[in-house]
Chain A
Amino acid sequence: MSVENAPVVDVDEAAIPVEKKMYYRFESNDKKEFRVSELAIQQSETLNRLVEAMGYTSEDVENKPAIAIENIDGKTLKLVFQWCEHHKGEAIPVDDGSVPKIVEIPEFDAKLMDIDNGLLFKLIWAADYLNIVQLLNVSCKKVANMAQGKTPAQLRRVYLLPSDEEDEAAKRAAQEAQDPRAREVEEEFEERKRQGGNSFF
């Protein structure tokens, strides 16, 4: 996909200080390209460290290929960068360890997260991967709100929680699907144990 055709996130340029006016190019795993301001990138600890380590100049940003983010698709990354641009320059919250955590979802974030749960799921994964603390907080708060006032039975349905029996069955299936050689060794060990042998080797 060419740079000309890449979707560009709306940026309020007047709000960006002159000395920070540098835009980085990122590419999602489905080859969609995004231009994101340096200030917005600071919301993501992962990306901020990455660009710092790369030490790109303005020319490098234009001439070198876009930085690939292989774990995240374009639709999700668009939401992530929209959020970062809106909240650029804001302080990153420090976790004080309190429970329940006091998180308020601002109007912009609520509109941004007015999406289906599949995309919300991807958004949380992306926020966690890119280490965007406040985006992770608000998106997790939205998931937490789904539990409000529900009984354990309702929570099982909402959060697709397997029962203990289903967990056990899944564990057994995973064991059975493991490396056949490892399974053979395990069976041999069990057989020797049955025969009363103390030493396996």
Chain B
Amino acid sequence: MDSSHQPTFPLLRLPVNAQKNVLRSMEIMDIWSLSLCSKTTKVLAKSINLKPKSCVVRLDGLVDSTVNSQDFTIQLQVYPDRNAQTMPNRKKQKADYVIITYTEISSSESKVYRSKNFKTAGDWFCHFSSIFHISSVNRLEMVQFCYFLSVKETLKRMEIRNIWIYETLQAVHARKILIPLSRAKSIILAKNPYISVYEKRRVLVQNWLGLNLNNEFLITIDDLLMTNCTYLISWWSEWPQEMINRWLKLWRSGSNRNLKYLVLAIIGTDPNVILKGIKYQVVPESTVQIFDGNDMGDLRNRTEEVKGGFDIWRNDGVRATVAIKDHLDHWRFQFCLWP
């Protein structure tokens, strides 16, 4: 259709209340398109307070951000300008285009956008976070280093709840990211990016709420004693049962006071060795206690069933249950503190 015959409507001359009503009656994709028209329309789009519940940012060669609401999901994928990839300074690499995908229960729609005003991935992400009022990132997934987005700069004003460092992320880049983002609440490390013990401990001593350490990231009893986290999961740190016993005695006297949940791999399953010299009470296997780790974020399941085990007490009377479980062909030592 020839645009000259297209009927027009002076949207911005309506009363403000009606302008907002029009925008709220639009599809989300149309609101996004409108927000790109000018500064005025951006302000208008912001004013209708689209506030999704959660935001996940995934860096995997491209910037992939997803916001979830009760009724819909919006995904922003920013692609780099491949032609400019050979440039000497890849940090200055520009964003080429973005794909926005809107998903409802029954349908999904994608659109490609290019803009002269948005030169970098950071520009697009800032616009996206501005329209959807994103002030916190529930999960930042670092799969591969993203040359065309400065994570430190772009996310500097945002609260980051969880960081996932994937095995595919190079150690040098993981190290660069971890210290600036130490204000995040919890972290899942699929690899150990540190060579020296000193460097590793620099990460462990940050005040994380939770740590989930996989594969090569092994912790010793000294590491555990110096952490201040509430939830700690180390799938592959195999501790001899005598060492567990030593730590339990230290915990009983007041070490790791903030720790509520701990999972470690264990060598040996003899309760007489693990609980040697510790007053305990056997919990029947038929007794199921529910551990509520609601603030654990993405570290593990929010609630966990603890079947049986042994109840032990700290010197101030606080009760915890320890249990030895067979999990993925390994014996795991599980520690849960009760309020």
User: Interface on A for B, CB 8 Å cutoff?
Assistant: 98-101, 103, 116-117, 120-121, 124-125, 127-129, 136-137, 140-141, 143-144, 146-152, 154-164, 167
User: Interface on B for A, CB 8 Å cutoff?
Assistant: 3, 6-15, 17-18, 21-31, 33-34, 36-41, 48-50, 71, 113, 115
Known: A143-B9, A160-B11. A155 touches B22 (CB 8 A): no
Asked if A125 contacts B14 (CB within 8 A), the reply is: yes
Cα A154 to Cα B13 with chains together (Å): 18
Q: Give the residues in chain A near B27, CB-CB below 8 Å.
A: 100, 147-148
Smallest CB gap from B20: residue in A: A140
Asked if B12 contacts A161 (CB within 8 A), the reply is: yes
Cα A152 to Cα B116 with chains together (Å): 12
CB distance from A150 to the nearest CB of B (A): 6
Known: A101-B25, A157-B3. A152 touches B11 (CB 8 A): no
Asked if A146 contacts B9 (CB within 8 A), the reply is: yes
Known: A140-B22, A164-B38. A159 touches B11 (CB 8 A): yes
Cα A167 to Cα B12 with chains together (Å): 12
Q: Give the residues in chain A near B22, CB-CB below 8 Å.
A: 140, 143-144
Partner among B7, B24, B33 whose Cβ is within 8 Å of the Cβ of A155: B33
Cα A93 to Cα B71 with chains together (Å): 21
CB distance from B51 to the nearest CB of A (A): 9
Q: A128-B14, A147-B30, A161-B40 are in contact. List 5 more A-B contacts (CB 8 A).
A: A117-B7, A159-B10, A160-B8, A160-B9, A163-B38
CB distance from B10 to the nearest CB of A (A): 5
Q: Give the residues in chain B near A164, CB-CB below 8 Å.
A: 38-39
Q: Give the residues in chain A near B36, CB-CB below 8 Å.
A: 152
Asked if A161 contacts B8 (CB within 8 A), the reply is: no
Asked if A160 contacts B10 (CB within 8 A), the reply is: yes
Cα A148 to Cα B31 with chains together (Å): 10
Cα A40 to Cα B314 with chains together (Å): 73
Residue pairs across A and B with CB atoms within 8 Å: the count is: 119
Asked if A140 contacts B33 (CB within 8 A), the reply is: no
Q: Give the residues in chain A near B39, CB-CB below 8 Å.
A: 164, 167
Task: List 5 A-B residue pairs with CB atoms under 8 Å apart, sorted by A's residue number.
Answer: A121-B10, A136-B18, A147-B26, A156-B38, A159-B9
Cα A94 to Cα B48 with chains together (Å): 17
Q: Give the residues in chain A near B38, CB-CB below 8 Å.
A: 156, 161-164, 167
Partner among A100, A116, A120, A150 whose Cβ is within 8 Å of the Cβ of B25: A100
Asked if A117 contacts B25 (CB within 8 A), the reply is: no
CB distance from B62 to the nearest CB of A (A): 22
Cα A152 to Cα B7 with chains together (Å): 16
Asked if B9 contacts A144 (CB within 8 A), the reply is: no
Asked if B26 contacts A124 (CB within 8 A), the reply is: no
Smallest CB gap from B117: residue in A: A164
Cα A144 to Cα B49 with chains together (Å): 17
Asked if B24 contacts A100 (CB within 8 A), the reply is: yes
Q: Give the residues in chain B near A152, CB-CB below 8 Å.
A: 33-34, 36-37, 113, 115
Q: Give the residues in chain B near A143, CB-CB below 8 Å.
A: 9, 11, 14, 22, 25
Cα A121 to Cα B48 with chains together (Å): 21
Cα A147 to Cα B26 with chains together (Å): 7
CB distance from A83 to the nearest CB of B (A): 16
Known: A158-B8, A161-B41. A137 touches B34 (CB 8 A): no
Partner among A98, A150, A162 whose Cβ is within 8 Å of the Cβ of B30: A150
Asked if B9 contacts A151 (CB within 8 A), the reply is: no
Known: A140-B21, A140-B25. A117 touches B8 (CB 8 A): yes
Partner among B10, B15, B25 whose Cβ is within 8 Å of the Cβ of A103: B25
Asked if B17 contacts A99 (CB within 8 A), the reply is: no
Q: Give the residues in chain A near B50, CB-CB below 8 Å.
A: 99
Cα A141 to Cα B36 with chains together (Å): 21
Asked if B37 contacts A144 (CB within 8 A), the reply is: no
Asked if A99 contacts B9 (CB within 8 A), the reply is: no
Cα A25 to Cα B3 with chains together (Å): 44
CB distance from A146 to the nearest CB of B (A): 6
CB distance from A44 to the nearest CB of B (A): 15
CB distance from A35 to the nearest CB of B (A): 28
CB distance from A101 to the nearest CB of B (A): 5
Q: Give the residues in chain B near A151, CB-CB below 8 Å.
A: 33
Q: Give the residues in chain A near B13, CB-CB below 8 Å.
A: 121
Asked if B11 contacts A128 (CB within 8 A), the reply is: no
CB distance from B23 to the nearest CB of A (A): 7
